[in-house]
Chain A
Amino acid sequence: MASWIPLAGLIVLVALVIAQLAVPSSRAWVWKVAAGLGTLELAALLYFGLVWAPPEAFMSDVGRILYVHVPHVWACLVAFTINVACAIAYLMKKSWRTDALAEASAEIGVYFGAIGVLMGSIWARPTWGVWWDWDPRLISTTVMLLAYVGYLAFRSFTEDPERRAAWSAAAAILGYVSLPIVWFSVRWWNSLHQVQSTGSTVDKPMRAVLYWGNVTFLTFLLAFIIKRYELARARQSSALELPPVQAPKTEVAV
């Protein structure tokens, strides 16, 4: 795989995001394109990651887990960043849209993070020699995922949409502290997990496949977030329009 191909994939992805955000008429099909494109990219990743890429000098074929483990955790971190941006945006200017997007991105971040940690554990067994050890990276990642599970639980147990939106936004800002801790844990403290790879520590063909993996799972991230966002919006409108006990206090921001 030539090194410009992942970049091309990233440009297409950014174009889809822009279309979704800026061109309302495109919202009917962007998620379909993202899902279809993601599937094609995944098929290519299977070939490039499992067949085309060379084995690693010391990890041999086990090193191929790199191409899925890192992209999953990346997608997780991107999702949580979207979440905190929406939380701040909601508190600055109330909008049910940002509240729904915050909910969608948190759930998908937990999904990608949990799968990424599972993959890391599977990878640790043959390389480190153990499935798990409580090193700073693994502790902080576990705490981060539990914080967002708590965030989602808070959201699902809180009935009043206004209270839920405002206080879960505050919780999201607090929870986001865990993200830089996860990122820097391998630098601040002694750890079993290695520090982040950079371009120069990964050989060229492997780097291209790793970036391709990132593009692939970020494309799925887009498709999932759109659909999960629509679900959150539908629930909101039913909660805000159906008059159960109390009349809705606010109008749905359109």
Chain B
Amino acid sequence: MKPETRNRLIALGAILVAGSALAWIAFGNIGENLVYYWKPSEMVAQGQKAYGATVRLGGVVVPGSVLFNTEHTALTFQVADSHKGDAVKVTVKSEQTPPQMFREGIGVVVEGAFSADQVFRTNRLMVNHSNEYRAPTDGGMPDEAWKNSLTKAE
């Protein structure tokens, strides 16, 4: 075989392998096996199987649900699938001082364990910033800006 032909065959083979690998990842069901976090509804749907295992739970902080005791850094809040009123919610307890960006309505990912008392205890609280970058407005944070700052989740 001439080297040119061989090289072109190598190219064809590599492109075929690369393309099918990509298609497999993009359109296969690998996504179901690669779970970074569960949403509250997905975790609750697991029932008892979810208890005890160290997992990540992700969602949005329910407005009005945040209780924080600065003295004992005891933080309690609810995480919901979305901002819809009927979204599934899970109560989260943390003994960690949250990142400064932590606020009502923002997206969070917490690592810890869910237990039978329906409380998710975490010692690793991460804040999930949205892809929006806004200059502060003169009025501080008007109603609209506050609403827009809520993490968009379906």
Contacts and interface: CB of A to CB of B under 8 A. Distances in A.
Interface of A: 54-59, 63, 66, 88, 90-94, 126-130, 133-136, 162, 166-167, 169-170, 173-174, 176-177, 180-181, 184, 188-192, 194-198, 201-203, 205-206
Contact of A189 (B3, B15, B36, B145): B36
Given A58-B101, A190-B36, A192-B126, 18 more contacts: A56-B133, A56-B135, A92-B11, A126-B99, A127-B101, A128-B129, A129-B102, A133-B126, A167-B10, A169-B7, A170-B14, A173-B15, A176-B18, A189-B36, A190-B37, A191-B36, A192-B109, A192-B128
A94 B13 CA distance: 17
Interface residues of B, number: 47
Contact of A57 (B26, B125, B145): B145
Nearest to B124: A130
B116 interface: no
27 contacts: A54-B136, A58-B103, A59-B129, A63-B133, A91-B10, A91-B14, A92-B11, A126-B100, A126-B101, A128-B126, A128-B127, A129-B127, A133-B126, A135-B109, A136-B36, A162-B3, A170-B14, A174-B17, A174-B18, A176-B18, A180-B22, A190-B35, A197-B131, A198-B131, A201-B131, A201-B133, A203-B135
A88 B131 contact: no
B21 interface: yes
B141 interface: yes
A166 B2 CA distance: 13
A203 B134 contact: yes
Contacts of A181: 22, 25
A128 B21 contact: no
A147 to B, nearest CB: 12
Contacts of B135: 54-57, 203, 205-206
A136 B33 CA distance: 12
Contacts of A173: 11, 14-15, 18
With a 10 A CB-CB cut-off, give which of B39, B99, B101, B129 has the most chain A CB atoms.
B129
A21 to B, nearest CB: 22
- Nearest first, the 8 closest Cβ-Cβ pairs linking A and B are A129-B99, A91-B11, A173-B14, A54-B135, A194-B131, A170-B14, A197-B131, A91-B7
Contacts of A188: 26, 31
Nearest to B35: A190
A213 B50 CA distance: 45
A177 B101 contact: no
B117 interface: no
Contacts of B102: 129
Nearest to B98: A129
B130 interface: yes
A192 B36 contact: yes
B34 A88 contact: no
Nearest to B141: A57
Contacts of A205: 135
B149 interface: yes
A189 B22 contact: no
B134 A169 contact: no
Contact of A206 (B109, B133, B137): B133
A194 B34 contact: no
A127 B129 contact: yes
A58 B131 CA distance: 12
A203 B141 CA distance: 15
A223 B5 CA distance: 35
Contacts of B3: 94, 162
Contacts of A169: 7, 10-11, 14
B36 A130 contact: no
Contacts of B134: 56-57, 203
B86 interface: no
